[in-house]
Amino acid sequence: MGYHALYQSWKDDPEAFWLEAARAIDWDEFPSAALNAENAPLYEWFTDGVVNTCYNALDRHVENGRGDQVAVIYDSPITGRKSKTTYSEMLDQVARLAGAMQSKGITTGDRVIIYMPMITEALVAMLACARIGAIHS
């Protein structure tokens, strides 16, 4: 479907358009509605849907045979450091950090502050939080 047809589809039925777009990710519980406008102008998307961002970012790619593909390319113009990390490597790092966080008592709903530069390890920390349901800054 080309851009104009896609745009027209959105204009014709935005609710159906976004629910169809939501099928591109894996849901624990698929949402019954795309946009909740009850408190407009404070809108909420996919209010009753349940999704694990970490699973969608890593696990499903490994499960579908893409574990050896590069997931993250890091190239720092400041330090000159360059690295490539596969989906399997990322999943291993994230799972280990998530386990370490849980061993320290961090659980679903807890707040975690990540104070570090935008490096691969920061992404690992963010995904580890998502994996266990912790909220990160």
In this prediction, residue 27 has a pLDDT band, given cuts at 50, 70 and 90, of very high
H or E stretch at 86: strand 82-86
Residue 123 CA to residue 91 CA, distance in Å, equals 11
Q: Is the pLDDT of residue 120 over 90?
A: yes
Average pLDDT estimate for 25-37: 97
Is 11 buried (19+), middle (13-18) or exposed (0-12) by CB count in 10 A?
Answer: exposed
Strand partners, 44: 36
For 54-102, what is each residue's pLDDT tens digit?
A: 999 999 999 999 999 999 999 999 999 999 999 999 999 999 999 999 9
Same-domain status, 74 and 102? yes
Residue 14 CA to residue 19 CA, distance in Å, equals 9
Same-domain status, 71 and 132? yes
Same-domain status, 96 and 35? no
Using only C-alpha atoms, the chain has a radius of gyration, in whole angstroms, of: 18
Same-domain status, 102 and 58? yes
Q: How many domains does the chain have?
A: 2
H or E stretch at 75: strand 70-75
Would you state the pLDDT for residue 1? 81
Average pLDDT estimate for 4-8: 96
Same-domain status, 43 and 101? no
Same-domain status, 28 and 64? no
Instruction: Give the pTM.
Output: 0.85
Same-domain status, 24 and 78? no
